[in-house]
Chain A
Amino acid sequence: MIIKNKSLFFQAIIIFLFFCVLAIVTFKGYCKVYKNYNFDTQALLTWDYSSYKGLLPYKDTFYPYGLLPYYENTLPFFQLISFFIGPILYTLFFIVIMKVWQDKLYALLIFILFYFFIEKFIGHDVFNRYGIITILACITAYLFLRNSYLPSKITLVLGVATGLIFSLVNDQGTYGVLIVTLFILFNPIIKYGFRNIFSRNYYKNTGKSIIVFSLGIIIGLIPFAVYLTYNNILYDFYVSFIRLSDSALYAKTPFFPYSRSPENLFTFVSIFLTIFYITYNKFFRKIDFNFIFYLQLGLISVLILLEQKSLIRSISEQITFISFLLFMLLFYDFRKFLEKLKVPSLSILICSSILGIFILYRIPFKHFNTEYNLANLDPKACLNKNVNNLLSSKNEYGLVKQRIEKDLNYKGKIFSFPGDPIFYILNKQKPPYYSNVYDSSSLIAQEKQVRYIKERGIQYIIYNKKVLAVQDGVPDFIRGNFELRFILNNFTPVNKIGDFLLLKKDSGKDFFKERFLDTVPKFKKYLLQVDFAFIPKSEGLYKKRFLNNINNLVLQKSTVRNINSFLTNKSVGSDNTVLVVWGSNVGQKGDRAWITLKTKDNLETTIYFYKCTNRKPCIINLSRLPLFYKNRIIEKIIVNSSFNDLIEMRNSSNDNTLW
């Protein structure tokens, strides 16, 4: 249906064959040899290792991307799909560009420019992922151009395609469902106006389309469902997919500091100009809807969806090729406008070519640079190559392994905190479900990690003391509080190798009373002088209702002098004790307030936090402070001399709402 033109069909075949040949000529293999071994690449390498070891995604390991990237280095079937996905995408984009530009010379120039744009700024791996949803949106736009409601057969095929895409690359499939559904719902309104939604026909036809589309998705999902059922991981996938939404909560970072990057501006300007242009055309030029308009709608929908992801975790560099297409569509009309003004075609062509070259060579985008080199090695050799590279680049990894195996004569399983999963590969053990404290940010995930340590009978923890905040500047004792509590309460430091501390299982000892801790003063300070930032303020703001419970009151609002005399006469344990700070004058250091707590066993810890007010207090759950992972008797509260606020003490044992 899309290719009625025979000549275009043959051109598409030639382009497909060309890209197949190009893929063969430039083929370097599927083995990823990582250039460095940071937090991100270690997670990627661990997934490669899990795939090679036959571990199942969703069940044995947390994996958010889908079957295609998981198995592309290990199973020939997925290697085959992976190989052809690039040529197929380029061919489809070629057809779309040829459909828009009837002038073949321009079409070819635009296509070549598009290819080099991807080659230089995006990378083929990223294009093979986000290109899927982009081309699906283009095809959907084309189909909906001719019909208000798609014929059932086509809707069914679209559904099957979306289901298959979901099976291979989960997020692209999800976006696909959203894009097609949007077109089904809004196309009749675009074509016939808002009045259409009052007609019975609208609900009848859109309802039918959605049912048929859903049926198609179910059919497309059958191979995936068979795979999941065969491996008995259907439920694991469901749980994993549902919990993916947790990542939006822990991954969220500010968007605006990065919004001024050239890539973000490029994307934003493309969306803004396109929306302005199509609105202007609709409001003041009364131009009929054509293929370009539908393409613009499709691409804008994709960009807005992907920008939602980018607002949480920036992918601004990866989606610029969609903005590039939007600019090209705007350029199409601009060229027509120039021709109307009788500007010579040759001048336009020369200027366009210069502009194209300028975009490729002068636009200040980051150049595409992968974190790995590809090599043609089988999975085992690939893994060995990575391990050897790692050991030669940072010998501490090898030394840690040697110390545990030879000096400490331990051959059992180990656990890495906050996240050097490379140790699992070196130790040839099955990694925990989450390879680092970032992925296991939710409480459920942390509980799973602790279960892993308990069930595997792990005797040694390898703690990377250099990584105090694995991601986004959030201290690991904040992010992985539950997990760290278990570690500090059950393990004790015995050895130090470079950046790594070896903690041995010994629940009888007190972590903070170990002299060994004095040999790592920076780490000790990190655990005892803790910054809770906005947490006490947020707790006070949203969980003040907790304070209405009179039964849990240990000591009503009091001055520090009164509290200290109370603490002298009564033994108050830290477990379940909550401090409620009313006021904003607690000892200040910059924009933070601070309170120091001294314990009966002569230890002390200081907590820093953003100031609160008399109306909205700060709530501090003492059990969350590393020193109070073990119950200790509080002896004294220390604040600075200007302190004149009131503190209340409560018991939270019956309340699970507080952090």
Chain B
Amino acid sequence: MRFNKSTHIKILIEALFYFSIEVLLTLFFRKIRNLFPIPTIGENKIVGYAQYFGYPFYFDNFVFFLFIISPLLLLSIVTVRRKIFKIKT
């Protein structure tokens, strides 16, 4: 299915709108961080920065992964919304 030029612009604006919501949500990242548990000291008894300062171990991986796949998610939302509302090209 080919889209015309104005449809492309509409899609981009919609994606940009979702992206701005995502950016706003990231402003609360400290609160998200607090949802993650502080790391444990395991049987190998290693203490580094994360264990000593209680920094959530997988927090960065989680947020980074979310950001990386967000273009895929945003454009999927646009596609699904267009299908639900049967928007023509």
Give A contacts to B, CB under 8 Å. 246, 249-256, 268, 271-272, 275-276, 279-280, 283-286, 304, 307-308, 311, 441-444, 472-474, 478-479, 481-482, 533-535, 537-539, 541-543, 610, 657, 659
B41-78 interface bits toward A, Cβ cutoff 8 Å, 1 = contact, 0 = none: 11111111111111101001101100111111011101
Q: Is B11 an interface residue (CB 8 A)?
A: yes
Q: In chain B, what residue has the closest Cβ to A312?
A: B60
* Residues of B contacting A482 in the complex (Cβ-Cβ under 8 angstroms): 45
Decide: A610 and B48 in contact? CB cutoff 8 A.
no
Q: How far is the CB of A481 from chain B (nearest CB, A)?
A: 8
Q: Is B20 an interface residue (CB 8 A)?
A: no
Q: How far is the CB of B67 from chain A (nearest CB, A)?
A: 7
Q: Is B2 an interface residue (CB 8 A)?
A: yes
Decide: B40 and A284 in contact? CB cutoff 8 A.
no
* Residues of A contacting B41 in the complex (Cβ-Cβ under 8 angstroms): 535, 538-539, 542, 659
Q: In chain A, what residue has the closest Cβ to B72?
A: A279
Q: Is B8 an interface residue (CB 8 A)?
A: yes
Q: Summarize A's interface: helix, strand, loop or mixed.
A: helix
Decide: A538 and B51 in contact? CB cutoff 8 A.
yes
CA distance A473 to B54 in the complex (A): 13
* Residues of A contacting B38 in the complex (Cβ-Cβ under 8 angstroms): 534, 537-538, 541
Give B contacts to A, CB under 8 Å. 1-3, 8, 11, 15, 29, 37-55, 57, 60-61, 63-64, 67-72, 74-76, 78-79
Q: How far is the CB of A612 from chain B (nearest CB, A)?
A: 11
Partner of A250, one of B29, B46, B53, B67: B46
CA distance A547 to B68 in the complex (A): 42
Q: How far is the CB of A655 from chain B (nearest CB, A)?
A: 12
Q: In chain B, what residue has the closest Cβ to A481?
A: B47
User: Beyond A441-B47, A474-B48, A535-B47, is A308–B61 a contact (Cβ under 8 Å)?
Assistant: yes
* Residues of A contacting B37 in the complex (Cβ-Cβ under 8 angstroms): 541
CA distance A285 to B4 in the complex (A): 10
Decide: B52 and A271 in contact? CB cutoff 8 A.
no
Decide: A253 and B51 in contact? CB cutoff 8 A.
no
* Residues of A contacting B44 in the complex (Cβ-Cβ under 8 angstroms): 246, 249, 442-444
Decide: B52 and A286 in contact? CB cutoff 8 A.
no
Decide: A286 and B1 in contact? CB cutoff 8 A.
yes
Decide: B46 and A252 in contact? CB cutoff 8 A.
no
User: Beyond A441-B48, A442-B45, A541-B37, is A279–B71 a contact (Cβ under 8 Å)?
Assistant: yes
User: Beyond A271-B68, A275-B71, A533-B52, is A474–B47 a contact (Cβ under 8 Å)?
Assistant: yes
CA distance A472 to B42 in the complex (A): 20
* Residues of A contacting B53 in the complex (Cβ-Cβ under 8 angstroms): 473-474, 533-534
Decide: A535 and B72 in contact? CB cutoff 8 A.
no
User: Beyond A272-B67, A537-B38, is A252–B52 a contact (Cβ under 8 Å)?
Assistant: no
Decide: A538 and B40 in contact? CB cutoff 8 A.
yes
Question: Which of A283, A284, A541, A657 is the most central at the interface, judged by chain B CB atoms within 10 Å of its CB?
Answer: A284
Decide: B49 and A472 in contact? CB cutoff 8 A.
yes
Q: In chain A, what residue has the closest Cβ to B89?
A: A284
Q: How far is the CB of B61 from chain A (nearest CB, A)?
A: 6
Decide: A441 and B54 in contact? CB cutoff 8 A.
no
Q: How far is the CB of B2 from chain A (nearest CB, A)?
A: 7
* Residues of B contacting A474 in the complex (Cβ-Cβ under 8 angstroms): 47-49, 52-53
Q: How far is the CB of B33 from chain A (nearest CB, A)?
A: 8
* Residues of A contacting B15 in the complex (Cβ-Cβ under 8 angstroms): 276, 280
* Residues of A contacting B50 in the complex (Cβ-Cβ under 8 angstroms): 249, 252-253
25 A-B pairs with CB atoms under 8 Å apart are A246-B46, A249-B46, A249-B48, A251-B48, A252-B48, A252-B49, A252-B55, A254-B55, A256-B60, A275-B68, A280-B71, A283-B76, A307-B64, A441-B46, A441-B48, A442-B44, A472-B49, A473-B52, A534-B51, A538-B38, A538-B40, A539-B41, A542-B41, A543-B40, A610-B54
7 A-B pairs closest in CB distance: A534-B54, A250-B48, A276-B71, A255-B60, A443-B45, A542-B40, A472-B49
CA distance A253 to B45 in the complex (A): 18
* Residues of A contacting B60 in the complex (Cβ-Cβ under 8 angstroms): 254-256, 311
* Residues of B contacting A271 in the complex (Cβ-Cβ under 8 angstroms): 68
* Residues of B contacting A534 in the complex (Cβ-Cβ under 8 angstroms): 38, 51-54
Decide: A283 and B75 in contact? CB cutoff 8 A.
yes
Partner of A479, one of B1, B48, B67: B48
* Residues of A contacting B51 in the complex (Cβ-Cβ under 8 angstroms): 249, 534-535, 538
Decide: A283 and B52 in contact? CB cutoff 8 A.
no
CA distance A444 to B48 in the complex (A): 15
Q: In chain B, what residue has the closest Cβ to A531?
A: B52
* Residues of A contacting B48 in the complex (Cβ-Cβ under 8 angstroms): 249-252, 441, 472, 474, 479
Decide: B68 and A304 in contact? CB cutoff 8 A.
yes
* Residues of B contacting A275 in the complex (Cβ-Cβ under 8 angstroms): 68-69, 71-72
* Residues of A contacting B68 in the complex (Cβ-Cβ under 8 angstroms): 271-272, 275, 304
